[in-house]
A = this chain, B = another copy of it.
Amino acid sequence: MSELELISELRSLLTHPDPRLVLGIGDDAAVVRGRGYAVTSVDTMVDGVHFRSGQLHPETIGHRALAGALSDLAAMGVRCECRGDVQAYLALGLPTGSSEVGLKLVAGAARLADEYGVSIVGGDLTSAPALTVSFTVVGWSDDPGELVRRDGARPGELVGVTGALGAAAAGLALYEGHVPDSALDPALAGALRERHARPRPLLAAGRALVRAGVSAMLDLSDGIASDAATLARASGVRVELDLAHLPLADGVAEVAAALGEQAARFAACGGEDYELCFTAGPASREAIEAALAACPGASAAVTWVGEVLAGDPPGLRFRDAGERSEPLAGYEHSF
């Protein structure tokens, strides 16, 4: 397949209706009618770094890359309810001879985009030594006061997380063959693999949390041990968490045991759950629980895992860890 044929096929996959789109794929740039404020995030996934193309179907790789980017918008509380709320741009790097992989990848991303009402309206295709998928996603806000940042946590507030932790890392351990699937119920093993392979960006939950009054929020891409420390430093506060309070996903205990690790530590350091971690005053506690309960899906539960304290230097401490827990080195960072 020639490059121009490939682009023609790509375009046919990316015909999302978008009431805000004035000029889409095929020109020097896309033109989108905006609202007051653009909220933009970039997220890149590279074969051998963020996934292995031998482990995941190309459709899944496309899903996963777009989900990772959309998760950043979820963590801001961006609205993604109707067509036109969020646009995505794809920079795709394909190794020689992988046109079919590229088409399937785009089809997988387009399927997730359709499900969330997101439109992929532009991009760029290049040769690359490794499969590289970079999504720029843009949401809109009429009032930046509606968005939540990482730096708003204040002493006296509580720290909450959505859903359950460690599933994506446990799924990765299965994909990598570090733990045999036979260590688990087959359905559970499948669910953990799915959590690694096809994360769900929590856009509705993020929006509900902002409305319910969270003061700071981010998505858990590196693991709460790393991400909560980031939130603490951004806010200039100390965050104290209880390992024993972390909500563990089903099957994480078994995978951690098979690896000889403590389950809560494994979950705290496991990346790519894409759950939301947030802070809020105690007075907002019930409103937050009610708001999340009204959201669909497994992440609708909130668990209160710690507290915000004044303190210098800012950072994270696990109160019930025998020693200071060292976060896993993250291999991906926004800046």
Is A29's beta carbon under 8 Å from chain B?
yes
Q: Which of B36, B78, B89 contacts A42 (CB 8 A)?
A: B89
Q: Which of B22, B28, B73, B136 contacts A37 (CB 8 A)?
A: B22
Given A42-B89, A122-B42, A136-B42, residue A147 in contact with residue B31 (CB < 8 A) = yes
Question: How far does the alpha carbon of A73 sit from the alpha carbon of B29 in the complex, in Å?
Answer: 7
Question: How far does the alpha carbon of A150 sit from the alpha carbon of B27 in the complex, in Å?
Answer: 6
A72 pairs with B32, CB closer than 8 A: no
B28 pairs with A72, CB closer than 8 A: yes
> Which chain A residues numbered 117 to 175 have a C-beta less than 8 Å away from chain B?
121-130, 132, 134, 136, 138-141, 144, 147, 149-151
> Which chain A residues numbered 22 to 39 have a C-beta less than 8 Å away from chain B?
22-23, 25-39
* Min distance, Cβ A318 to any Cβ of chain B, angstroms: 19
A4 pairs with B38, CB closer than 8 A: no
Question: How far does the alpha carbon of A25 sit from the alpha carbon of B33 in the complex, in Å?
Answer: 24
Question: How far does the alpha carbon of A144 sit from the alpha carbon of B27 in the complex, in Å?
Answer: 14
Interface window among A44-52, A107-115, A182-190, A192-200: A44-52
B40 pairs with A138, CB closer than 8 A: yes
Is A324's beta carbon under 8 Å from chain B?
no
Is A10's beta carbon under 8 Å from chain B?
yes
Is A7's beta carbon under 8 Å from chain B?
yes
Is A219's beta carbon under 8 Å from chain B?
yes
Question: How far does the alpha carbon of A26 sit from the alpha carbon of B123 in the complex, in Å?
Answer: 24
Q: Which of B49, B151, B234 contacts A128 (CB 8 A)?
A: B49
B29 pairs with A91, CB closer than 8 A: no
How many copies of this chain does the complex contain?
Answer: 2
Question: How far does the alpha carbon of A219 sit from the alpha carbon of B139 in the complex, in Å?
Answer: 28
Tell me which residues across on chain B come within 8 A of A90, comparing CB atoms.
42
A124 pairs with B333, CB closer than 8 A: yes
* Chain B residue at minimal CB-CB distance from A218: B28
B334 pairs with A124, CB closer than 8 A: yes
> Which chain A residues numbered 212 to 232 have a C-beta less than 8 Å away from chain B?
217-219
B335 pairs with A234, CB closer than 8 A: no
* Min distance, Cβ A121 to any Cβ of chain B, angstroms: 8
Q: Which of B40, B46, B124, B147 contacts A44 (CB 8 A)?
A: B124
Is A43's beta carbon under 8 Å from chain B?
yes
B38 pairs with A144, CB closer than 8 A: no
B331 pairs with A122, CB closer than 8 A: no
Q: Which of the listed residues A22, A124, A334 has the most CB atoms from chain B within 10 Å of its own CB? A: A124
Tell me which residues across on chain B come within 8 A of A46, comparing CB atoms.
93, 126-129
Question: How far does the alpha carbon of A7 sit from the alpha carbon of B332 in the complex, in Å?
Answer: 11
Is A1's beta carbon under 8 Å from chain B?
no
* Min distance, Cβ A216 to any Cβ of chain B, angstroms: 10
Tell me which residues across on chain B come within 8 A of A140, comparing CB atoms.
34
Tell me which residues across on chain B come within 8 A of A17, comparing CB atoms.
none
Is A261's beta carbon under 8 Å from chain B?
no
Between A and B, 5 residue pairs with Cβ closer than 8 Å are A3-B333, A23-B144, A27-B150, A49-B128, A93-B132
Besides A3-B331, A28-B41, A42-B91, 5 other A-B contacts (C-beta < 8 A): A29-B73, A38-B38, A40-B89, A40-B138, A46-B126
